[in-house]
Amino acid sequence: MTDATSTSTGAAPTSVTSQDTGTVGESESGTPTTTDPTTSTSTSTSTSTGPDPSTTEPIDPSTTTGDTTTSTSTTTGEETDTSTGSTTGEDEPCACPDIEVPLDDGIFVLSDDAELWKYFPETNNFTMLGQIGCGMTNTFSMAVDRLGYAWVQFNGTGQLRKVDVTNVADCSDPGFAPGQVGVNNFGMAFVSNSEVDKCDRIYGNTYSGFGGYSEGPNAGDFITIDPDSLILSKLGKTSFDGAELTGTGDGRAFIFGGQFPSKLVEADKNTGAALSVLPLNGLEINNGAFAFAFFAGDFYFFTDSDNDLFNSEVTHLDYDDSDGNGIQDLTVLQQDAPLLIVGAGVSTCAPVQPM
């Protein structure tokens, strides 16, 4: 996400570093929150090389809802194949496609000048997929669906375009009408319907477009877009005028927004109400570019903390305490990513549990 006043003039070489970001999970006064487990910070150093995805012909798009199939099984003594949810060998609804640029090994990120990249959490490495072919460069936010399309939103107008991640020059108009119910720009993500229903839809948090991003009671709207009609609906209020979203394959929606400190909020998908709030002390959101995504049980934040309008920082939150140390470590992985990131999208095909 980026506001209308942000500009960029270039990018610097990648640098992989780590530093202390501050105390996570405490309020500004230092009072611990009720979030469990207790949070803290840590440092680490990582170097890596990442895979170099290639491109192929665009896949044939289909709907995000899928057709539900039913089947009956008879006990014959033979082992039943449960991988498809059917004994007939038919694909389950909204199954993940096997495409040249996988949807389950990394996070897609969008630059402020309309380049699509991929970030690989396992190696802490970026790979550029190319310049998107939409004819517009003033990017605002992005979400990635289960079919392998990045839905890219543009600043001010709120226009949405679909970009094939296997061929980023392939940009199409899905038919979304911007400006519905007075909403132009919003941070957004695809979220699965539930842990058992993998079909997904867009959820978002609105930005008014006036001034910088702000925080306060009922400052923003929590919205969703119907996957068939592409009609936008407001579901409730949030505390953020300008925030990003990420979704999970088991049906959870999270919001990243706020000022001093920034906050990670799990949202009720029906109302936008906060189910939990985790302050991220030391992780700043300036009035420039920011995004985040959920991957394999953890969160990855992309922020322009030094406000240089050239490169993003990458910060990792060990949300599920996968290292077993009893705390949710917040660690800077890179201080100078090779792009300024305004959108991050992870398909709900990506893993929910640690790899």
Higher pLDDT, 65 or 271: 271
Q: Does the pLDDT at position 233 exceed 90?
A: yes
Euclidean distance between the first and the last CA atom of the chain, given in angstroms as a whole number: 28
Residue 68 predicted with pLDDT over 80 = no
When pLDDT is cut at 50, 70 and 90, the band that residue 48 belongs to is very low
* 15-47+104-345 to CATH, choices 3.30.70, 2.115.10, 2.20.25, 1.10.10: 2.115.10
Q: What is the C-alpha separation between 355 and 140, in angstroms, rounded? A: 30
Pairwise CA distance, residues 106 & 93, whole Å? 23
Q: Which pLDDT band holds residue 3 (cuts at 50, 70, 90)?
A: low
- Closest Cα partner for 279 from 19, 4, 28, 65? 28
Query: What is the average pLDDT across 199-219?
Result: 95
Q: How confident is the model at residue 71 (pLDDT cuts 50, 70, 90)?
A: very low
pLDDT band at 259 (very low <50, low <70, confident <90, very high): confident
Q: What is the mean pLDDT of residues 182-205?
A: 97
Give the pLDDT confidence score for residue 1 in this predicted structure: 80
Output the 3-class SS for the chain.
CCCCCCCCCCCCCCEECCCECCCECECCCCCECCCCCCEEECCCCCCCCCCCCCCCCCCCCCCCCCCCCCCCCCCCCCCCCCCCCCCCCCCCCCCCCCCCCCCCCCEEEEECCCEEEEEECCCCEEEEEEECCCCCCCEEEEEECCCCEEEEEECCCCCEEEEECCEEEEEECCCCCCCHHHCCEEEEEEEECCCCCCCEEEEEEEECCCCCCEEEEEEEEEEEECCCCCCEEEEEEEEEECCEEEECCCCCEEEEECCCCEEEEEECCCCCCEEEEEEECCCCCCCCCEEEEEECCEEEEEECCCCCCCCCEEEEECCCCCCCCCCEEEEEEEEECCCCEEEEECCCCCCCCCC
| pLDDT over 70 percentage in the chain | 75
Mean predicted confidence (pLDDT) in 89-113: 91
* pLDDT, the chain, mean: 82
pLDDT at residue 337 greater than cutoff 90: yes
Here the tokens at position 243 are 């925030």
pLDDT score at 77: 41
Q: How far apart are CA 40 and CA 33, in angstroms?
A: 12
pLDDT score recorded for residue 239 = 97
Amino acid identity at 199:
C
Q: Which of 162, 188, 146, 117 is nearest to 338 (CA)?
A: 117
pLDDT at 78 over 90: no
pLDDT at position 140 over 50: yes
Kindly tell me if the per-residue pLDDT of 246 is higher than 90: yes
pLDDT, average across residues 213-224: 96
pLDDT, tens digit, 9 for 90 and up, residues 277-331: 999 998 999 767 999 999 999 999 999 978 888 899 999 999 988 888 888 999 9
Question: Given this model, what pLDDT does residue 203 score?
Answer: 98
**Band (18; pLDDT cuts 50, 70, 90):** very low
Those residues whose C-beta lies under 8 Å from the C-beta of residue 209, and which sit 6 or more positions away, are 3, 4, 156, 184, 185
Separation CA 262–CA 240 (nearest Å)? 10
Question: pLDDT value at position 15?
Answer: 35
Check residue 307 and give its pLDDT.
81
The pLDDT confidence band at residue 54, using thresholds 50, 70 and 90, is very low
Inter-residue contact 99 to 276 (CB < 8 Å): no
- Beta-bridged to residue 240, according to DSSP, are 215
Overall average pLDDT of the 94-116 stretch? 96
Q: What is the pLDDT of residue 336?
A: 94
What letters, b where the CB count within 10 A reaches 16 and e where it falls short, cover 234-244? ebbbbbbbbbb
What is the model's pLDDT at position 322? Answer: 80
Q: Is the pLDDT of residue 75 over 70?
A: no
- Which has more pLDDT, 58 or 1? 1
Residue 160 has pLDDT above 60, yes or no: yes
pLDDT of residue 89: 54
CA distance 152 to 343: 8
CA angle 46-51-53, nearest 5°? Answer: 145
* pLDDT grade for 24, boundaries at 50, 70 and 90: low
